[in-house]
A and B are shown apart, each in its own frame.
Chain A
Amino acid sequence: MKESEIDIMARNLLQNAEETVSPKVWEGVSAALDARKRVVPFWAWALSGVAAAAAVVLGVFLYRPSVSAIPAAPLAGYVQAASQPEGIVPLQQQMARSAVPSALAMTQEEPAPQAAPLSTQAIPAQPFAAAVIPASQRLSAPVRSTGISAEDQALLNRLAQETVQQPAGENGLSLLVSGNFQGNGRGNVSSAAYHRAFRPLSPRATQEEGIYNEYPEVSFSLPVSGGLGFLFNFHPRWAVGTGIRYTHLSRTFVAEYVDSDGFPLGETDIDNHQHWVGVPLNLYFHIVNKGRWRIHSFVGGAGEYLVDNDFLIHSSPRDIHYHQGGFPLQWSAAVGLGMEFKLTPGIGLYLDPSFRYYFGTENQPRSIRTIQPLRVDLEAGVRFSL
């Protein structure tokens, strides 16, 4: 087309034109750049995760079963040392075997009627259940060195029951209503990090519908999850939890979109929304259970299925939705340390920060997980005893 007079005039006037700029613009730019700097960096999340993991490890290794620290003196009279008759099992051993060592501690105030020599073997610890037994219910008669009295046996049986039947909220089944949050790293990922994480982007070679030639810059929003679950305490210190969890991941980027007719839509804004449904399975260990507070560590994993991978392509005259599917299950493993505050014996608020690693992300659609497979996850929720 022949260049028109108006083209020449416009180019000459406009090409190097300048306009005054309001100071508000720089203030806005500066504030936006500051806001980006304030995004919590990944290392901060990672550091808190390391601290949580360290606490978990310490919690597990520092915990000693309650049969290792009882004072030796009360054992006098209850344990017949080397001279005991064959076939009679000392009370100390019976308690250790039945995992109800509580009764030993209750004898601390009792005099030793028979001054038998102290055992030289390892001394069982003061049991945690001892503190809750009133003095009036403690052993009223010494145990004879030849065995266990009927009264002691009854008490042992009752203690065993008390150990199993903890107060509401300590044992049995609980319902969990939870929400999960993860960091979004820098929010915006640099081109270098992007190329490290993704396969090289090749130019579009086909006319198939799809997203091509993504710009390296991508902005991720905070991943958010919500779910329902059950927690089953099968032991005073151990529990297993499972349920169902929905997760929403999203990102915004610029790329080329080719529609179902093979028509390319050049460089355009695209919002990607991923909807996942998963089933977590966790094993909990209660480290501390005191008053209204409970501290626990946990390990576990989850399998998640991508229900919908929706691309919203901003286009004129109307936006376009493009859906991808057929991705394999996403597996992950987690380790964490949590705490619970009991509002009532049956209702508790809990906070479970954890480290979660996502496996096989190279086969999954692009998301913050594929760039940073190791994520810090924060689960908060309410537990209702059933």
Chain B
Amino acid sequence: MWIKEDAPAGAASSPERLVTACQEGDRKAQKRLFDALAPKMMAVCLRYMGNREDAEDVLQEGFVTLFTKLDSYQGLGSFEGWARRIFVNTALMHLRRTDALGLSDDIDQARTLFTEEATPVQRIGYKELMRLIGQLPADARTVFNMYVVEGYSHKEIAKELGCTEATSRSKLQRARLRLQEMIMEEK
């Protein structure tokens, strides 16, 4: 549960009540929700943006959007999943604004890449992996995050990013290969 059980007496004690209090503009409730969600969402933002400064900007904008969009949360499905989507979308908007997503690969190149087999990699830690992901080109990093971690399909990625499914596959494969190379170089 993303709401800590040691909430002070009188404070909203369930996710539903906390969300309701936030919808009513209760600043203390909003701070509690922020404290509960921010560390995970910061990790999401950092994965997409690749550096802390941009990730904090996205995190801040994402929370403002989340608090103003709370009315549209219908209580269906996981609140955290709903919130995560807001932060992913906010990160994508930032990347689009900065023209970081150059999604124009041709399909032939993508087909070539699909045939390459990934070789086994040694296991590495979280911080090391985050650092390496941050070194990926923004377009490949975005597709890798969306497909591998968030679980989007290539069709959904193509729709979100305005590219073809083939381009999405190509970028994913590039990201995997580059990560693999970097991990091998590190070890």
Contact = CB atoms under 8 A, between A and B. Distances in A.
Interface of A: 1, 4-7, 9-11, 13-22, 24-26, 28-30, 32-33, 36-37, 188, 190-192, 216-217, 254, 263-269, 314-318
Interface of B: 25, 27, 30-31, 34, 38-40, 42-43, 46-47, 55-56, 59-60, 63-65, 67-69, 71-72, 89, 93, 95-97, 99-104, 114, 118, 120-121, 123-126, 129-130, 133, 144, 148-149, 158-162, 169, 176, 179-180, 183
Pairs of residues from A and B, 5 with the lowest C-beta to C-beta distance, nearest first:
A18-B39, A266-B159, A265-B162, A19-B42, A17-B43
30 contacts: A6-B179, A6-B183, A9-B124, A10-B148, A10-B179, A11-B148, A11-B149, A13-B126, A14-B129, A15-B149, A17-B130, A18-B39, A18-B40, A19-B39, A19-B46, A21-B42, A21-B59, A25-B56, A33-B27, A33-B30, A33-B64, A191-B71, A264-B159, A266-B160, A267-B89, A269-B93, A269-B96, A314-B96, A315-B162, A316-B101
Contacts of A18: 39-40, 42-43
Given A29-B34, A36-B68, A217-B68, A316 B96 contact: yes
A263 to B, nearest CB: 8
Given A29-B63, A269-B96, A190 B34 contact: no
A257 to B, nearest CB: 8
Contact of A17 (B65, B126, B160): B126
Given A10-B148, A14-B129, A21-B42, 11 more contacts: A4-B118, A10-B133, A13-B126, A19-B42, A29-B67, A33-B30, A190-B71, A266-B162, A316-B96, A316-B100, A317-B102
Contacts of A30: 27, 30-31
A113 to B, nearest CB: 80
Nearest to A9: B123
B121 A25 contact: no
A315 B56 contact: no
Nearest to A190: B71
Majority DSSP secondary structure for residues of A touching B: mixed
Given A6-B176, A10-B129, A25 B59 contact: yes
A316 B162 contact: yes
A26 B33 CA distance: 11
A254 B90 CA distance: 11
A36 to B, nearest CB: 7
Contact of B56 (A17, A24, A188): A24
A9 B129 CA distance: 9
A266 B161 contact: yes
Contacts of A318: 99
A317 B104 contact: yes
B90 to A, nearest CB: 10
A22 B46 CA distance: 13
B176 A7 contact: yes
A185 to B, nearest CB: 14
